[in-house]
Structure formats: structure tokens, C-alpha cells
């Protein structure tokens, strides 16, 4: 039944294009998915050509680009926050496709900025938007201009098809996600009224596992770690290195860091992580399957615990983590510096209390001369519910494509803008509409030769279209009469 209703069936599509063209126009126009894919590829290629390396960002250019397209399609769009965002040349963009308003809205959010790209390490110009070997190449193809254009084109396809909407669709493009997240912050602080009717929001943070052409699962981000970066400082008295002194801050810092490095944070299983392990257990056999089916119990068992924690990702989603990353003493070998400092990349579980964690860390160090300074205040905690209409819409659209695949909830160890929106009470999900090979994502995201395949762009725009269609609730709107 579902298959018959789905506009994916080429036979039905062909039929509706010929014999029922007139009624199709009245009830909604059928979509030519190949054409839509090719159009999406062209729009993405031009988007990638606009250099929004952050810093400085220059997202006003991309906001104007998106607005031109939305204007052409008759979708209300506004460029916002140009005066508030710094430095000059930045902007957020907001657009809304109106439905009948009987249910709450859905927001599609992406960021327009990209991290720097060093052309010396790329095999193509990172801002060429080049189409080569079945891929569109460019900084941002995966993170996350590709998703942004899929959001845009799925919304445009809905408008063109005349699909009746119970939920408005809101499109938001933010600046500055890659550095300070000021785009989403300013947007939420200044324009909460524009999104007060939004119930669900999707943005970066999905994690579909696709390896060697095979899908292991669709991963929807419901939770993420909270960055709580610390600058650790010890102050001393500068003097000549030829006369060792107890006022040298370097050995004192080193001793503190040694204690931190040896400290093992406690293990803790959050609800989404528990579901994730139970879901993936089905791909294992024997005792490993048993362990993953009840990870909290397995962590009590030394051999299970050692096996689970040997995976750097699993280790990171089961505890608060501390990575010692930066270290600074004197810049001259013969000078005892006035100050020694280090940087700790601390990532907290969503339900951890930052102040309590800091107190624990101070206790571990046990030296009042060692000062902890917040480099970055943690964003609000993020753990969204799983039993929602929208999550089920994702599951349904995923099963249409891969009947045996499951939709699970891996925790994101990095940070997105989702918590900024979550604090308004919006249920936010990390949803990635693509099947990108793990190796491609590892090389490309924040790395070199970032690219996305043409096939993935076509897959993504259709996938998201179906999710948005299923999420309308009630009778599933269909474009095929």
C-alpha cells in the first residue's frame, strides 16, 4: 500500500505524467526525481563556489544566494541580523512555507559557514563546486552546505508539488556554527517569536553508518556531548633558567596535568546510548551480542568493559572525557616563565553538571595554585525524546529505502547548534539524509577533498521529502492522485 502511494514508483510517475496530467495539476504536480536531483546538484555547486570560510564567514553572500532562489519560488524569506553579527558581512536567513496551520511547524536548519580549506592538500580547487567522477567537490559539500541545499530543494519540491501541509516548513540558514555559534545564538535571542510554533527541528548531527557500500544503520542524533573547555594556569616568578627555583610554574603545572591524565572519569549510560547499544547488538554474535544488549551490566564485567572501552567512540559516549591538547611554558630555553598553561578539551555527558565536574577536577589536582578558567561555557544539555511523530516519520522513510535497516540513536561527541534551539523547548534531531562512506566522511569533513556524490544528493532530497510528507500526520499527503 505504501509503495503504491509513494511517488517513487516510476510506472505511476509516468502514468500520472501522461494520462492524468490535468488532474495531477489540480491535486499536486508529480515530481520528476531525476530532474530534481540534477537541479539540486546545480544549486549546490553554485552554493559551494561562495567562499564562506569562517573566520571571517561572509555568510551574507550565501544568504542572498538562498533568498534569490526562495524569492523565485514564491517562498517568503528574510535576511536577518546583519547589524548584530560581527564582523561585517554576516547574516542569518529565515524562510517559511505555509501550510494550513492545523499542526505545529517543522524547521530545517543548517549553517552556511565552512572551516578553512588549504588548496595545497586538495586535488581540486576547494571553492570550485566542480562536478567530477560522479561527485560534487568543495568545502562544505558534507559539512553542511550539501544538507542545506537538500533542505532547500525538498521544501521547494513540496511547494511545487502542491502537497497539502498540516505543518508549516521553516528553513533557517545560520552563520558562524564552526567557530562561536553566534549565528544561532543571535537568531534565537532576537527571533524566538518567528519559531515559537516549531515543534521539531532537524540539523547536523545525524550519523548514518555506511561502509563498503553497505548500510549498517541510520543514526539520528538525539543527544550530544557538551563542550566545557578549560584553560589551566599556574603563575610563578620569571627568572633565569640557570638557577632553578620553586617559583617555576612549569613543574607545578606538569604535576597537575599528570594527575588529570591518570584520572579515570566514571562510566554512565544515558537513555539514547543504551538504545544505541541494544540496537547494534543485533550485528554481533556470542558474548559480545550479550554484552551490548545490556551495556550497563557489561561494564561491571572486566573483560566486557575492556573490550567496550577499547573503542574510542564507545568510550566517549559512556563518560565525561578530558583530552589534554595545548601546552605552553617559556618560549626560551633559558627563561623560567611567569606563567605556564594548558588546554583541556572537556566533553560532558548531557546530564552531567559542569560545576560539579569542575569541583571533582580541582579535587583530583589538589593544588590551589592551579587555576581553571572556562574557555567556553557549555551549551544547554541536549537529549531529545525518541517516541515522537517526527522520529517515527524518519523511521518510516528509512524503512521504505532499506526495509531491514534500523534507526538508532548514537550520541554525538562533537557539538552542533542544536542545544541553542533546544532551549526554546523545540525537539531537535541530528538528521543526515545521505549514505556517505565512512572513509569519505573521515577524509572530507574538516579535512581535504570534501565531496558528495550526485547519487547521494538525489537520494537525500527524496528521503527528506518523504520524511516531511510522513511527518504531516493524519492522512499521508501524496502527490500522486
Strands 105-111 and 169-174: parallel
What is the enclosing helix (H) or strand (E) of 467? helix 454-470
Q: What minimum distance in Å lies between the beta carbon of 55 and Zn ion?
A: 14
Q: Would you tell me how many other CB atoms lie within 10 Å of the CB of residue 259?
A: 15
**CA atoms of 263 and 364, how far apart (whole Å):** 7
Q: What minimum distance in Å lies between the beta carbon of 116 and Zn ion?
A: 11
| Strand partners for 226 | 348
What b/e string do you get for 188-203 counting C-beta neighbours within 10 Å, with b at 16 or more? beebeebbeebbbbbb
Query: Which residue has its beta carbon closest to Zn ion?
Result: 143
189: which residues sit within 8 A by CB, 6+ positions away?
none
Q: What part of residues 113-172 is at the interface with Zn ion (CB under 5 A)?
A: 143
**CA atoms of 433 and 147, how far apart (whole Å):** 7
Q: What minimum distance in Å lies between the beta carbon of 425 and Zn ion?
A: 26
Q: What minimum distance in Å lies between the beta carbon of 455 and Zn ion?
A: 23
Q: What minimum distance in Å lies between the beta carbon of 178 and Zn ion?
A: 5
Peptide bond between residue 56 and the one before it cis (omega within 30 degrees of 0): yes
3-state secondary structure (DSSP) of residue 110 = strand
From the list 418, 421, 415, 383, the residue with the least C-alpha distance to 189 is 421
Q: What minimum distance in Å lies between the beta carbon of 19 and Zn ion?
A: 48
Q: What minimum distance in Å lies between the beta carbon of 431 and Zn ion?
A: 16
Minimum CB distance to Zn ion smaller for 140 or for 329: 140
Peptide bond between residue 16 and the one before it cis (omega within 30 degrees of 0): no
Per the CB < 8 A criterion, the answer to whether 380 and 422 are in contact is yes
Strands (E), 33-174: 76-80, 92-97, 105-111, 131-132, 135-137, 169-174
Which residues are at the interface with Zn ion (CB under 5 A)?
143
Amino acid at each position: 500500500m505504501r509503495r503504491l502511494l509513494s511517488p517513487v514508483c516510476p510506472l505511476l510517475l509516468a502514468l500520472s505524467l501522461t494520462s492524468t496530467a490535468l488532474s495531477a495539476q489540480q491535486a499536486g504536480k508529480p515530481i520528476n526525481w531525476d530532474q530534481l536531483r540534477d537541479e539540486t546538484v546545480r544549486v549546490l555547486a553554485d552554493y559551494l563556489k561562495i567562499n564562506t570560510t569562517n573566520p571571517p564567514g561572509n555568510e551574507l553572500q550565501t544568504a542572498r544566494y538562498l533568498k534569490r532562489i526562495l524569492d523565485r519560488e514564491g517562498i517568503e524569506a528574510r535576511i536577518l541580523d546583519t547589524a548584530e553579527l560581527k564582523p561585517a558581512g554576516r547574516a542569518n536567513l529565515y524562510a517559511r512555507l505555509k501550510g494550513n496551520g492545523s499542526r505545529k511547524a517543522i524547521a530545517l536548519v543548517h549553517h552556511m559557514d565552512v572551516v578553512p580549506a588549504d588548496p595545497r592538500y586538495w586535488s581540486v580547487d576547494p571553492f570550485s563546486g566542480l562536478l567530477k567522477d560522479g561527485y560534487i567537490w568543495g568545502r562544505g559539500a558534507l559539512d553542511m552546505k550539501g544538507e542545506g541545499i537538500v533542505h532547500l530543494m525538498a521544501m521547494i519540491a513540496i511547494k511545487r508539488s502542491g502537497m497539502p501541509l498540516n505543518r508549516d516548513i521553516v528553513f533557517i540558514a545560520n552563520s558562524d556554527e564552526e567557530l562561536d555559534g553566534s549565528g544561532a545564538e543571535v537568531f534565537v535571542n532576537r527571533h524566538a517569536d518567528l519559531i515559537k510554533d516549531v515543534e521539531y527541528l532537524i540539523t547536523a548531527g545525524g550519523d548514518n553508518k555506511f561502509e563498503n557500500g553497505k548500510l549498517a544503520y541510520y543514526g539520528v542524533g538525539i543527544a550530544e556531548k557538551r563542550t566545557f573547555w578549560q584553560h589551566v594556569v599556574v603563575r610563578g616568578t620569571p627568572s633565569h633558567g640557570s638557577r632553578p627555583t620553586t617559583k617555576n610554574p612549569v613543574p607545578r603545572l606538569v604535576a597537575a596535568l599528570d594527575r588529570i591524565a591518570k584520572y579515570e572519569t566514571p562510566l554512565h549510560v544515558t537513555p539514547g546510548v543504551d538504545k544505541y547499544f541494544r540496537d547494534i547488538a543485533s550485528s554481533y554474535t556470542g558474548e559480545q551480542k550479550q554484552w551490548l544488549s545490556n551495556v550497563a551490566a557489561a561494564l561491571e564485567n572486566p573483560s566486557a568493559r575492556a573490550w567496550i572501552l577499547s573503542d574510542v567512540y564507545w568510550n566517549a559516549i559512556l563518560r565525561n572525557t578530558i583530552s589534554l591538547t595545548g601546552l605552553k611554558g617559556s618560549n626560551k630555553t633559558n627563561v623560567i616563565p611567569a606563567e605556564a598553561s594548558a588546554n583541556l578539551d572537556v566533553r560532558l555527558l548531557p546530564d552531567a553538571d559542569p560545576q560539579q565536574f569542575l569541583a571533582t577536577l580541582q579535587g583530583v589536582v589538589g593544588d590551589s595554585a592551579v587555576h581553571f578558567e572556562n574557555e567556553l561555557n557549555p551549551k544547554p544539555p541536549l537529549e531529545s525524546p525518541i517516541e515522537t511523530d517526527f522520529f517515527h516519520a524518519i523511521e518510516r522513510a528509512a524503512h521504505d529505502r532499506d526495509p531491514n535497516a534500523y534507526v538508532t540513536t548514537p550520541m554525538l561527541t562533537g557539538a552542533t547548534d542544536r542545544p541553542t534551539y533546544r532551549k526554546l523547548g523545540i525537539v531537535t534531531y541530528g538528521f543526515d539524509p545521505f549514505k556517505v562512506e565512512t572513509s569519505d566522511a573521515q577524509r572530507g569533513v574538516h579535512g581535504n577533498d570534501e565531496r558528495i556524490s550526485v547519487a547521494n544528493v538525489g537520494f537525500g532530497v527524496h528521503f527528506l521529502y518523504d520524511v516531511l510528507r510522513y511527518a504531516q500526520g493524519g492522512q499521508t499527503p501524496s502527490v500522486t492522485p
